[in-house]
Amino acid sequence: MIASASPPAPRPPGAPLGPSLATQLRHTARCVHAVEQGQSLSDVLPQVSAELRPGVQALTFHVLRHLGTARALLAQLVQRKPDAAVQALLCSALSLMLEDAEAGSSSGLHYAAHTVVNQAVDAARQDRGTARQAAFINACLRRFLRERPALMAEALRQPVARWNHPTWWIERLQRDHPDHWQAILAANNQPGPMTLRVNRRRVERTAYQQALQAIGVASTPVGDDGLVLDAPQPVERLPGFAQGHCSVQDAAAQMAAKLLLEGRTWTVADRVLDACAAPGGKTAHLLECADLNMLALDVDARRCERVDDTLKRLGLSAEVRCADAGQPDAWWDGQPFDAILLDAPCTASGIVRRHPDVRWLRRASDVDQLVKVQRNLLEALWPLLKPGGRLLYATCSVFRAEGADQVQAFLERHTDAVHRPSPGHLLPGSAAPAGEFNDNPLGGYDGFFYTRMDKAAP
């Protein structure tokens, strides 16, 4: 998972100069091009050198949050659509030249427009695929500077350019959340805060907050174990991170453990299944809260290694198995579970502020396909729950088809499923409606959906 980008730290006096904006723009354009070709930033950014990655990530996140506007501007500036590499570089430069004070201040990216033009031209000359188009790129960007007010006014007449989300996504939010859709879209274009989960088995939250304060990092408590940082920090700077004192996890994701475990006393005799566990944050939080006989599944062997690594760092133990939760005949031993966490595969439409590529990678048809996957997982796992047991269904989605509608259909099919008070849809950032489940003081939750269902006794 890629964390929210933060601006590179100021260069200390006398330190060597960092990479030029032209170099960073060249690599940013390559990342944007890869996303437009259907690749996830989670796969693309690790290919960027360690020296360049922080700056390139910050620039790429910014571009993707403004890609709809940049594309609409580019369509006015050119008569014929340029080559994909040239288009990606132009969109990257245009996104840095937009008159968007609010987004600029939140991203921490401030460049004079003429500097962006010059550096974009230099970036074009550095790359074989764009070198011959350097003069064309220069002409397009200088025309934008001359005609910016008129070009912007025309571009922002298009919903995709105004909201920087695909048309189908905007329309679905308008149907699903008619009172909050604009706030959701606006929140998606802002970076989410960095939130920590303090490992209660290693350190008390108050003590850890004081340790942060001692190194000049201010924080605010959230939930039972969380701390929202005033500013993002490299994990290497967090006190005791390598020793398992904390993890990075949004406040919405931290709700899973409490929602699944609350209301009863748990012991190591209780069998608990985390059905789609990777990268292991929720598995770990459950084990931090209680001694459990935990089985963590994931269908991807490499992601199972991440679960193992997470548990090892935090000093926790669980059985981690590579298996498809939807095919229990291949892995289930026939012993029913006391509790199941199903954090199901979904569109990730609730965590766009941390993964701005998601909106451009998803297609409308993906929603229906994922709804089928979620339904199949629910049907496969429900028989594995003992009478009196509980299942927490979760997705990091704001789409009702993957949340409220999915659960309503399940309850209609299963008369032995008892719906318990649950948060339902948590909306991202300031879009989240006030209520007992919305106590995040800084930046709001990521978008999430939670419902707990208990299996009635015969």
Instruction: Give the max Cα distance, the chain.
Output: 76
C-alpha gyration radius of the chain:
23
d(CA 145, CA 128): 26
d(CA 275, CA 296): 6
Options 246, 289, 304, 396, the catalytic residue: 396
Identity of the amino acid at 177: H
| Catalytic residue list contains 304 | no
Specify which residues 417 forms β-bridges with. 455
Strand 271-274 versus strand 293-298 pairing type? parallel
Structure tokens at 327: 């095919």
d(CA 250, CA 429): 11
- At 295, is the secondary structure helix, strand, or coil? strand
Give Cβ neighbours of residue 138 (< 8 Å, ≥ 6 apart): 117, 120, 121
d(CA 335, CA 333): 6
Give Cβ neighbours of residue 301 (< 8 Å, ≥ 6 apart): 322
d(CA 418, CA 304): 32
d(CA 173, CA 162): 15
Q: Is 142 exposed, middle or buried (0-12, 13-18, 19+ CB in 10 A)?
A: middle
Q: Is 162 exposed, middle or buried (0-12, 13-18, 19+ CB in 10 A)?
A: middle
d(CA 440, CA 442): 6
The residue with tokens 């299996």 is 455
Q: Rounded to the nearest 5 degrees, what angle is found at the Cα of 189, between the Cα atoms of 283 and 255?
A: 25
Q: Among all residues, which ones are annotated catalytic?
A: 396
